[in-house]
Amino acid sequence: MTMKELSKKLNIPITQVFVKHHLNELKKVNNALPEVVDPRLIKLMNNARTRCKTPSPRNSKYYIDRGVKFELSLEDALYLWDRDKVEQMNIPSLDRKDHLKNYNVSNCRFIEWRDNRNKKGRPKTKKGNNQHE
């Protein structure tokens, strides 16, 4: 059963299903749960997972067609969150160091959204529309 189907069946938002799934996964590994998981972390993980799995013109071109997979567990993401000192960031963004590789611990980091958006080699949008140059 997918998270979306489970969300519908339990009548709870998909974000809560995602959190419960990953917290259970973390509990199996560590036998401990974090006291509080920052909602920004859950949102960033959800967005990255969606980019890798949900077809759309942008997702298909930059993620799905390239075979990019989402391989981060909540435990991995929490490790990166602490390592990269996300609490000190204004708008954190989950960045892949190599855009052709998967979302995993060795290829991911949290950086400021502005820095991620302005990385070299990234397609730029023209002013006034969402078309790439």
pTM above 0.75, yes or no: no
CB 22 within 8 A of CB 73: yes
What pLDDT shows up at residue 81?
93
**pLDDT number for residue 131:** 41
pLDDT along the chain (133 residues), means of 10: 58 56 56 64 91 91 93 89 93 94 96 89 50 38
Around Cβ 11, how many Cβ atoms within 10 Å? 6
Q: Where are the beta strands (DSSP E) in 1-133?
A: 92-96, 108-112
Give domain limits for the chain: 3-117
